Amino acid sequence: MSDKTFYVTTPIYYPNDKLHIGHTYTTTAADTIVKFKELQGYQTELITGSDEHGQKIAQTAAKHDQEPLEYVDGIVDTFKLLWDKLEVDYTEFVRTTSEEHKLDVQQIFKKVYDQGDIYNDKYQGYYCTPCETFWKERQLDEENNCPDCNREVEWMEEESYFFKMSKYEEQLLDFIEEHPDFIQPAKRRNEMINFIKDGLEDLCVSRTTFDWGIPVPVDDDHVIYVWFDALTSYLTGIDFRRNEEKFNKFWPADIHIVGKDILRFHTVIWPAILMAADLPLPKQVFGHGFLLVEGGKMSKSKGNVIDPVKLIDDFGVDAVRYYLLREIAFGSDGSYSTESFIQRINADLANDLGNLLNRTVAMVDKYFDGQISAATVETEFDQELEQVAQESLAAVAENIEQLQFSTALEELWVLIRRTNKYIDQTEPWVLAKDETKRDKLGTVLYNLLDNLRRIAIVLVPFMPQAPAKIWEQLGIVTDLTEQSWDDALTKGQLEAGTKVNSGEPIFPRIDLEEYYEQLEEVEEEEGKMSEQDYINFEQFGKLDLRVAEVLEAEKIEGSDKLLKVQVDLGAEERQLVAGISKHYAPEELVGKRIVMVANLEPATIFGVKSNGMILAASNDEGDLTITTVDRDIAAGAQVK
Ligand code: MSP
């Protein structure tokens, strides 16, 4: 294995709620660049995790009547499930509540404190809890809200530790100047430079009004500010303090991938902390754009949150990852819509790629009984096809390097479409009619299959399942995971003589209308469930269910269904009417402890007063059984 290394991080997500498609976008991008680097022979690390401390999480847990750790445990499980479904190969999942992480954060804090870069003072200013950000009055928006998320801020006055961020202003500006790739995309670089040039203030790095956080190592009354804590997870993930060799091998990180909303934390606060801690700065921070729905932000209140798990269940992981990376230029905002999703999948995956595979394998079946021929002659189109392949693959690599996934895929599709065109140019169905052109026909099919082999390798970073399915249909038995980028670049590695396995289309066409109809049906079903089948706890609490002992029972004259029953309800006796005469003889009931509804409105049935109802189960075949209790419990006991 080569000793080239590549270390990528995703943000560590707040476990205050389940993740949506926007978070999935960030992680898919990170996983893709890492898988690409692996193909190129790098040793890689991909770190993700959960940002579990701070005021926001403490408040959310309280709303759910849970302890913070208990609350986040449940949500963190859903994160891991999502990453598994998305087939993300992360090397470490950092939970900020882990003991290792706590010690890492405390060590960095202590180091910076010991050298005099952290001091005690009083904070006066505003705080945005959703963003976990401190703001000065002059920074608020026109409505005096958070300038980032435009939500309400709260006034805060508390004793705090401060990090001397101002001290690093010049050093940071120099670094950004000397490392033009540090902040990407370039358009966001100037924004950050201007922010720093506006003047860096010292940063409040501890809180005292709640205790859900890592204690300040020199003062137990304070917990460390959640962003100081969270950013340090990038060190925890590669065994800072615990494995010096590994840490030195991977630090500094090659890329921190983040959304544009948190670029400032990563290009101002984080580098300043690292400078103070005497650690090298990451090579690059990439702030991508936002995934919008109907042109706006996703939010629970708007009801437009797209659930990635449902999307993967409905369309498969390959389609979801492909769409996210192809549809939106990484760095710019873009909109999700079901229409554009289905259109993309149909046009690019079902048509261009799926058909290329289907047509080719079907022709090998038809003309060569499934056996792959060797390429023995040349056609007049081969050179150009290979030239397009080389140019396309070079452009794919270059664009992935720049995290321009959409352009990378567009470039790959140039090759896919060109390969489709090769079929139209060479007209295998015409060659097949002429026995003297058999070698040429074999060569054409070989070239098509070999290009599909290469295309599948290139797709490995983007899609976890389709490449192996393509190889399976090509009849290749070599393990795809052992392939390298060079194998994609090299023509002619497909072995002649083996047999193809034609199979189902790897990307069946999706019918938009059918999909909508299906959705409507599901929604209708769910609607029925919620209207008819659910009651809330309060409603349930209104039912007074009790155990009662049958004292006497007798038939009601004139009715073959009804029995008059006297029961002991503990504190009182009751009379009720029960429609069970066809199933129980009166004497059979006496002494039984049954369950009854004690607070049902009284009624008179067949002239007999009924004050309550015996519960019984019945089925369509006419069987009936009354509900009894299977242990000794006094009459009158409540059932709940
Ligand atoms: N916990 C912090 C990150 C700490 S990293 C040391 C945080 N968490 S978050 O869960 O709110 O957001 C995580 C990431 O998801 C951010 O990069 C954010 O930009 C991204 N996204 C959240 N919604 C998004 C979209 N709608 N579209 C694209 N990315 C989005 O911030």
CB distance 200 to 165 below 8 Å: yes
In the chain, pLDDT over 90 holds for what percent of residues? Answer: 86
Alpha carbon distances (Å) from 188 to 75, 131, 267, 389: 32, 19, 11, 34
9, 10, 13: residue to mutate for ligand 1 pocket, most atoms within 8 A of CB: 13
Picking from 498, 502, 490, 503, the residue whose alpha carbon sits closest to that of residue 458 is 490
Q: Where are the alpha helices (DSSP H) in 40-144?
A: 55-63, 68-85, 99-114
Q: Does pLDDT of 535 surpass 80?
A: no
Q: Atom 12 of ligand 1 has which residue's CA nearest to it?
A: 13
**Residue 540 confidence (pLDDT):** 85
Picking from 69, 84, 76, the residue whose alpha carbon sits closest to that of residue 19 is 76
Q: Is 298 touching ligand 1 by the criterion CB < 6 Å?
A: yes
Q: Is 231 touching ligand 1 by the criterion CB < 6 Å?
A: yes
Q: Is 290 touching ligand 1 by the criterion CB < 6 Å?
A: yes
* Each residue's pLDDT tens digit, 174-197: 999 999 999 999 999 999 999 999
CA–CA separation, 167 and 161 (whole Å): 15
Residue 603 tokens, joined: 């009624």
Confidence bin at 533 (pLDDT 50/70/90): low
Q: Is 14 touching ligand 1 by the criterion CB < 6 Å?
A: yes
CA–CA separation, 240 and 234 (whole Å): 9
Going from the Cα of 108 to the center of ligand 1, the distance in angstroms, rounded, reads: 24
14, 17, 24, 26: residue to mutate for ligand 1 pocket, most atoms within 8 A of CB: 26
* Each residue's pLDDT tens digit, 323-376: 999 999 999 999 999 999 999 999 999 999 999 999 999 999 999 999 999 999
Picking from 12, 123, 16, 13, the residue whose alpha carbon sits closest to that of residue 59 is 16
**Residue 240 confidence (pLDDT):** 97
Alpha carbon distances (Å) from 294 to 315, 334, 335, 338, 640: 21, 10, 7, 10, 46
Among 227-231, 300-304, 469-473, 547-551, which is the least confidently predicted range?
300-304
Place of tokens 């390798």: 457
Mean pLDDT of the chain: 94
Q: Name the pairing type of β-strands 563-568 and 215-216.
A: unpaired
Going from the Cα of 6 to the center of ligand 1, the distance in angstroms, rounded, reads: 22
Phi, then psi, of 332 in degrees rounded to 5: -105, 160
Mean pLDDT (whole number) for 486-498 = 96
For the CA of 19, the closest atom of ligand 1 is 10
In the chain, pLDDT over 70 holds for what percent of residues? Answer: 99
Going from the Cα of 26 to the center of ligand 1, the distance in angstroms, rounded, reads: 8
Q: Is 228 touching ligand 1 by the criterion CB < 6 Å?
A: no
Mean pLDDT (whole number) for 259-288 = 97
Count, residues in the chain: 640
Q: Does pLDDT of 529 surpass 80?
A: no
Q: Atom 5 of ligand 1 has which residue's CA nearest to it?
A: 11
**Residue 604 confidence (pLDDT):** 78
3-state secondary structure of 203: strand
Q: Does pLDDT of 532 surpass 60?
A: no
CB distance 286 to 185 below 8 Å: yes
Q: Does pLDDT of 166 surpass 90?
A: yes
* Cβ-proximal residues to 237 (8 Å cutoff; 6+ apart), any chain: 9, 45, 47, 49, 91, 92, 94
Going from the Cα of 180 to the center of ligand 1, the distance in angstroms, rounded, reads: 24
Q: Is 580 touching ligand 1 by the criterion CB < 6 Å?
A: no
23, 270, 290, 298: residue to mutate for ligand 1 pocket, most atoms within 8 A of CB: 23
Alpha carbon distances (Å) from 105 to 117, 158, 234: 15, 22, 11
CA angle in degrees (0–180, nearest 5) for 629-630-635: 40
* Each residue's pLDDT tens digit, 550-565: 999 999 887 888 899 9
Mean pLDDT (whole number) for 215-224 = 97
Confidence bin at 528 (pLDDT 50/70/90): low
CA–CA separation, 287 and 294 (whole Å): 22
Q: Is 25 touching ligand 1 by the criterion CB < 6 Å?
A: yes
CA–CA separation, 39 and 400 (whole Å): 12
Q: How many CA atoms lie within 13 A of 430 on its CB side?
A: 5
* Each residue's pLDDT tens digit, 384-430: 999 999 999 999 999 999 999 999 999 999 999 999 999 999 999 99
* Each residue's pLDDT tens digit, 232-248: 999 999 999 999 999 99
Q: How far apart are the two ends of the chain, measured CA to CA in Å?
A: 63
CA–CA separation, 567 and 551 (whole Å): 5
Q: Does pLDDT of 609 surpass 60?
A: yes
Going from the Cα of 259 to the center of ligand 1, the distance in angstroms, rounded, reads: 6
Alpha carbon distances (Å) from 426 to 77, 385, 412: 53, 12, 21
* Each residue's pLDDT tens digit, 12-33: 999 999 999 999 999 999 999 9
CA–CA separation, 229 and 109 (whole Å): 9
Q: Is 52 touching ligand 1 by the criterion CB < 6 Å?
A: no
**Residue 301 confidence (pLDDT):** 76
CA–CA separation, 191 and 289 (whole Å): 14
Mean pLDDT (whole number) for 488-503 = 96
